[in-house]
């Protein structure tokens, strides 16, 4: 990764902050602990008494696992969550067996031996942990500034976590928040279901034909319509944004996604 003169080696994170904030803003950036321990990012700017000056932005860097419940960054108008707070699988298994009051013997552990275990209880605990920390650290910024009427401050949140999980849980984590994609062209050019979901979350389209879809993402609904429309993440994106899929009946009348006018930004 190229080197940033002001932010060590982790140029991409510094770029994301400067690209999405204005000079003078107070910013909280949550990163993995190793980046601070090894000084790839400044490791001694934990609060706004001693912020890091990143091109005239006042930036605090903290790591996942730190700061839960703290109000010290509540003046931050932008919060960046880089990555997610994964813990070792063994720790999640230990928590699960403890909750079930089971001894960690060969029989109890046999259900978790696969590297990609599909055990529903294990996956629920794993996702619950990730969502808890995503919610907690996302809300360290100006959202914690509550006025006399119980209204919180305005805050922007930038997330780089796992896409599918975020879409599934975003309404529970951040009810009423508006979802906006950055680097949209890159998402679309990558193709696949993520590109389709990104397109469905665009704010101003009221119609997307299957020709538009193929040109934007490379997805062919002639071959894959049933598979894509059956995916829960696509159904969620359609529901959130008021899309209905209408089948066409000829070359001059292609199938299309049609949107409720009230849902268009």
Give the per-residue pLDDT at 10: 53
pLDDT along the chain (265 residues), means of 10: 37 83 96 94 94 96 94 96 95 95 92 89 96 96 92 92 90 89 76 90 87 92 92 93 89 89 72
- pLDDT at position 11: 54
Q: Which residues contact 222 (CB under 8 A, 6 or more apart)?
A: 210
Distance between CA atoms of 235 and 140, rounded to whole angstroms?
31
Per-residue confidence (pLDDT) for residue 34, from 0 to 100? 94
pLDDT tens digits for range 71-105: 999 999 999 999 999 999 999 999 999 999 999 99
| pLDDT of the residue at 182 | 73
Could you please report the per-residue DSSP string of 121-162?
HHHHHHHHHHHHHHHHHHTTSGGG-B-TTSPBPP-EEEE-S-
Helix pair 192-200, 163-173: axis angle to 10 deg: 30
Q: What SS3 class is residue 26?
A: strand
Hey, where are the domains in the chain?
1-177, 184-263
Q: Give residue-wise pLDDT tens across range 212-246.
A: 999 999 999 988 899 999 999 999 999 999 999 99
CATH topology of domain 1-177: Rossmann fold (3.40.50)
Average pLDDT, the chain: 89
């Amino acid at each position: 990764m190229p080197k940033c003169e002001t932010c060590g080696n982790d140029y991409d994170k510094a770029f994301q902050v400067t690209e999405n904030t204005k000079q003078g803003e107070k910013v909280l950036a949550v990163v993995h602990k190793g980046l601070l321990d090894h000084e790839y990012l400044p490791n001694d700017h934990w609060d706004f008494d001693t912020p890091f000056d990143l091109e005239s932005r006042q930036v605090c860097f903290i790591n996942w696992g730190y700061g839960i419940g703290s109000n010290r960054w509540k003046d931050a108008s932008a919060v960046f969550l880089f990555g997610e707070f994964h813990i070792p699988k063994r720790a999640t298994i230990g928590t699960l067996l403890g909750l079930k009051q089971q001894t960690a013997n060969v029989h109890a552990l046999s259900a978790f031996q696969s590297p990609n275990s599909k055990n529903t209880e294990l996956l629920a605990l794993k996702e619950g942990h990730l969502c808890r920390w995503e919610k907690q650290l996302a809300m360290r910024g100006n959202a914690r500034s509550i006025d006399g009427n119980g209204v919180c401050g305005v805050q922007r949140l930038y997330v780089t976590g796992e896409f599918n999980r975020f879409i599934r849980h975003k309404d529970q984590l951040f009810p009423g928040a508006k979802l906006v994609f950055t680097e949209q062209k890159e998402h679309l050019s990558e193709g696949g279901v993520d590109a389709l979901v990104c397109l469905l979350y665009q704010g101003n389209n009221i119609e997307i034909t299957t020709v538009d879809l193929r040109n934007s993402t490379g997805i062919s609904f002639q071959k894959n319509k049933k598979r894509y429309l059956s995916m829960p993440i696509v159904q969620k994106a359609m529901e959130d944004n008021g899309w209905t899929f209408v089948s066409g009946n000829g070359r001059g009348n292609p199938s299309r996604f049609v949107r409720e006018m009230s849902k268009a930004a």
